[in-house]
Each structure stands twice: as C-alpha cells, then as structure tokens.
Amino acid sequence: MTHTYKLMILPGDGIGPEVMGEVKKIVAWINEHADFKIETEDGLIGGASYDEFESPFDDSTLERCRAADAIMLGAVGGPKWDGVDYNLRPEAGLLKLRKELDLFANLRPALVFDALIDASTLKPEVIRGLDILIVRELTGGVYFGEPRGIEDLGGGERRGVNTQIYTTSEIKRIGRVAFDLARKRNNRVMSCEKANVMDSGKLWREDMSALHEDEFSDVQLDHMYADNCAMQLLRDPKQFDVIVTDNLFGDLLSDAAAMLTGSLGMLPSASLGAPSATALYEPVHGSAPDIAGQGKANPLATILSFAMCLRYSFDQGDLADKIEQAVQRVLNSGTRTPDIMAKDCREVSTSAMGDALIAELKN
Ligand code: IPM
Ligand code: MG
C-alpha cells in the first residue's frame, strides 16, 4: 500500500497564497509520479484568519495542524491589520503556532547558488560557495518572556516592557540540535549572544560550553557577541558553519544571512520540535504586501522549504535532492523572478517560475 502523508497548508497573507500555489503544483506532480501520496488541507493564519475568526490563529486550525504530518506556511502580516490589537495581530498567530507545537529549533540555511552570485550586493569572492546554517531558538527569549506590555505611568508617560529569559534546559536543547547538525556538516558551531551586557547571554555562553564539554567535545565550539557576528557575516561569511543563537538575535542574523544569498526570496526554513512532533516549514521572507497579487513574488524559498519538509518530515531525501537540483538548473538556465533578475536573464512571473521548476522535475 502506498503511504499517504498529511500536509497542512497555511498560505497566510500577502504573497503567501501565490508562493504556496507553486508548492501545490509540485504536490500534484508528486501525487502523479512518486510511490507515496501527499494529502493536503488548507487552513487560515495571520490576517486572513483574523478576518474570518477574529483570531490570527484559531484553535480549530491548531488542532488540524497537530493532526497533520507536517505544516507548510506562506507568510503573515500586512498594513491592513496595522491597527489591530497587539495580541490579535497576524504575527501573534505565527507565534502561537510555534509555541503551541513547541517548535523550538528553527533551521535557516543560507546557501549561495552559483547562478545567483551577481544578485548579491557583496563581492563574488566573499560569497561564492557559501553554505551556512543558522539555528535559531524559536519558543523562548524576549519573544515570549514575562512581564511584557505597555504600562501607563500617567502624565503622558508610558513604559514598554519585554523580558529576555532563558533557562539551562532551553539553552541546552537548542545547543544539542546545533551540535548534532554540525556533525553532519563541517563540525563547527559558533554560539552568539551578548554575554558582555546580558545575564541571559552569560548563562547562554556558560551552558553552551558545559554542553559542549559533556556531550560534544568532538565538535569545534566558538563564541561570538551577536553584534560582532552581524559584522562578520558581511565581512567574511564563509568563516561560519553552524551559528546557534537566541530567538531575537536569530531573527536579525538570519535576515542578514539571507541577503548574502542575493534575495530574501531564496531562503527556506524548518521549525522542528520533539522528533515525534509535527514540524513547520516556511520561507524566511515576509508577506511583501507591496508586491502581493502581482505575480512578482519568488516562490523558490517556499519550494525549498517544501524540499526541507520532504527531507525532515516525510523521509524523502532523494526527492528533496531532486527539487533542490531542479532549482539549481532553473537558475542556471537564466529564469528569474524580478527580485533576482540579472543581465541577459529571462524575467518570469511567480507562476511561470513554478512551471519552469516542474518542467525541470520532469527531465
Ligand atoms: C521571522 C519573522 C517573524 C519573527 C515574525 C513575522 C513574527 O520575522 O520568522 O523571521 O519575528 O520571528
Ligand atoms: Mg524575521
């Protein structure tokens, strides 16, 4: 009997539905050609969910997510919901999904495709062959720490508070993910925090060192202040293999790393929890409301996220390889969405990019 995987699809807002449309084409292709099947179900998240349920992520959708084998998400947010209460904003829906499924490990690989060397704002020699992996802690830190909120102090004065908190077990469980992945790569981990000014950063550094000594002394571990890491990513990104960092620094550093590759439209991510938990796959880019609905969005980050889904959740590494190679060939052939357009290349729409990829898969 052929195995059927259940994939929950949350297109979200802005360009989310467009880029996810291209993933659905690949799912259809797989269902025709592979020896397993993928059954998909759509759900709402972000502003789209707020408009329907007055909640950015409804409990009924959460339960359907839990029941799936994996989740693909497009993007959330947009100016339409700027006035919405903080805890009902589209972003709050994504944070709820991450927290409820305990998806504490966010893997954000930054890989430079040879064909896209010129799309980067950095010199070719700085980025050629770049292959780094940012492992971002995703369910702790200042994103979730209490107390938080805006307090009225009277007389027109207010106070905004967020709290950075990390415990030893939170630090060690994300550390283990990073060290494990480093063993399958170039065996080096750079741990980033601000141990020079933050107590949570001091604890992070001490716990990472202890974990390294106890369980991973075969892996090279170095520490770097997160601000220095931002600078080093621009100066000499190839010095890194795996970077492990907290939720907020990981958010910043992964955007910086994305741009090394030429476009935010190229960066996939996986958010993993316990081995048995449903995992979430999403592009690193946002909802890009300025280009939504115009067929200009680059679907490759979402398609590469789907390749990660095939690899990590469906155990279909060969097919993931195939999709990644097809992306490479499409780029080599000069097919480009506007964000990565270059001289002598052919500019295509979101949908034509998806079609070009399917054509390569058929080869
Ligand atoms: C990301 C995004 C999110 C984050 C937003 C949309 C909540 O920037 O996934 O990097 O800050 O984590
Ligand atoms: Mg971000």
Report pLDDT digits (tens) over 215-246: 999 999 999 999 999 999 999 999 999 999 99
CA of 192: how far to CAs of 133, 201, 207, 286, 339, in Å?
13, 8, 12, 24, 30
Local structure of residue 89 (DSSP, 8 states): S
Local structure of residue 141 (DSSP, 8 states): G
Report pLDDT digits (tens) over 24-46: 999 999 999 999 999 999 999 99
Q: How far apart are CA 110 and CA 242, in angstroms?
A: 10
Report pLDDT digits (tens) over 145-173: 999 999 999 999 999 999 999 999 999 99
What average pLDDT does the chain have?
Answer: 96
The answer to whether 194 is a known catalytic residue is yes
Q: Which of 103, 142, 251, 280 to mutate to test the pocket of ligand 1 (most atoms within 8 A of CB)?
A: 251
Is the pLDDT reported for residue 1 higher than 90? no
The token pair that represents 250 in the structure block: 């990981």
State which fold the 1-103+274-363 domain adopts: Isopropylmalate Dehydrogenase (3.40.718)
Instruction: Give the number of the atom of ligand 1 that is nearest the alpha carbon of residue 76.
Output: 6
Give the rounded percent of residues in the chain with a pLDDT score beyond 90: 91
The CB of 282 under 6 Å from ligand 1? The reply is no
Pick the residue whose CA is nearest to atom 5 on ligand 1.
Answer: 91
Question: Domain coordinates of the chain in residue numbers?
Answer: 1-103+274-363, 105-272
Residue 261: pLDDT band with limits 50, 70, 90: confident
Contact 145, 129 (CB under 8 A): no
The answer to whether 143 is a known catalytic residue is yes
Residue 340: pLDDT band with limits 50, 70, 90: very high
Q: How far apart are CA 305 and CA 23, in angstroms?
A: 9
Q: Which residue has the tokens 């993007």?
A: 75
Contact 9, 43 (CB under 8 A): yes
Distance 168 CA to ligand 2 centre (A): 25
Q: Do domains 1-103+274-363 and 105-272 have the same CATH topology?
A: yes
CATH of domain 105-272: 3.40.718.10
Catalytic residue among 13, 241, 251, 339: 251
Instruction: Give the number of the atom of ligand 1 that is nearest the alpha carbon of residue 106.
Output: 9
Q: Which of 81, 84, 89, 94 to mutate to test the pocket of ligand 1 (most atoms within 8 A of CB)?
A: 94
Catalytic residue among 180, 255, 322, 355: 255
